[in-house]
Chains A and B, each alone.
Chain A
Amino acid sequence: EAQVTQNPRYLITVTGKKLTVTCSQNMNHEYMSWYRQDPGLGLRQIYYSMNVEVTDKGDVPEGYKVSRKEKRNFPLILESPSPNQTSLYFCASSPTGGRGNEQFFGPGTRLTVL
């Protein structure tokens, strides 16, 4: 089944404790992206990657890191999480980053930073 998977689905952590949220897609997509979803703000892009070893900042990149060593994986890293990073996170992928290509979203990761 073609899909985007994220792990973990739920995570409660404390301020300053490094964490990684994994994202994997099995559709051989070049483009991958991370979004955060907050009430009343919709989804905002954190980082995106056009292909392996190519990453770029989205609208809200502060406090996050990403890497794209393999085409299928795009982990999101929070080196020192803070409470304002409590949010619902979605990974997405699409065949290319150009206009008109559907983005497929993962099921989401709900992160709480105490």
Chain B
Amino acid sequence: GENVEQHPSTLSVQEGDSAVIKCTYSDSASNYFPWYKQELGKGPQLIIDIRSNVGEKKDQRIAVTLNKTAKHFSLHITETQPEDSAVYFCAARNTGRRALTFGSGTRLQVQP
């Protein structure tokens, strides 16, 4: 089955700096890669996703890149703000399996 590894497990940055979280996946058939943000006491919420036919996608301060050959994808947050502090999860899915496989999560702390 699919295996998703996520790094780092914790990340501390200064407000205004950029943050990068990286994930690798094992199943070359995976074709959908969402990123979720989980705030304290809440369920995960989708913030951005990318499909395997696209190499990069951007939404304001958030961008995701995908390298299918190397089987890794990354989340980039620019101009970080204290409200970006949360746990971020990457995930991967292939159509056949229909289940999301999640990474282990990254706790991002943005220092004011």
Contacts and interface: CB of A to CB of B under 8 A. Distances in A.
A90 B89 CA distance: 14
A108 B43 contact: yes
Contacts of B1: 59
Contacts of B101: 59
B43 A99 contact: no
Interface residues of A, number: 25
Interface stretch (B45-53, B55-63, B64-72, B73-81): B45-53
A97 B44 contact: no
A44 B46 contact: no
Interface residues of B, number: 28
A102 B34 contact: yes
Contact of B93 (A58, A99, A107): A99
Contact of B102 (A43, A50, A98): A43
Given A48-B99, A97-B98, A102-B34, A42 B43 contact: no
B89 A42 contact: yes
A108 B38 CA distance: 11
A98 B94 CA distance: 9
A41, A58, A99: most-surrounded residue (chain B CB, <10 A) = A99
A98 B98 contact: yes
Interface in A2-36: 4, 33, 35
A90 B43 contact: yes
Contact of B42 (A35, A42, A107): A107
A59 B101 CA distance: 9
* Top 8 A-B pairs, shortest CB-CB distance: A105-B43, A42-B102, A99-B32, A43-B102, A97-B98, A42-B104, A102-B46, A99-B95
Interface of A: 4, 33, 35, 40-45, 48, 50, 58-59, 90, 92, 97-100, 102-103, 105-108
12 contacts: A40-B9, A42-B4, A48-B98, A48-B99, A58-B99, A59-B99, A59-B101, A90-B44, A99-B93, A105-B43, A107-B42, A108-B42
Interface of B: 1, 4, 6, 9, 31-32, 34, 36, 41-46, 49, 51, 89, 93-95, 98-105
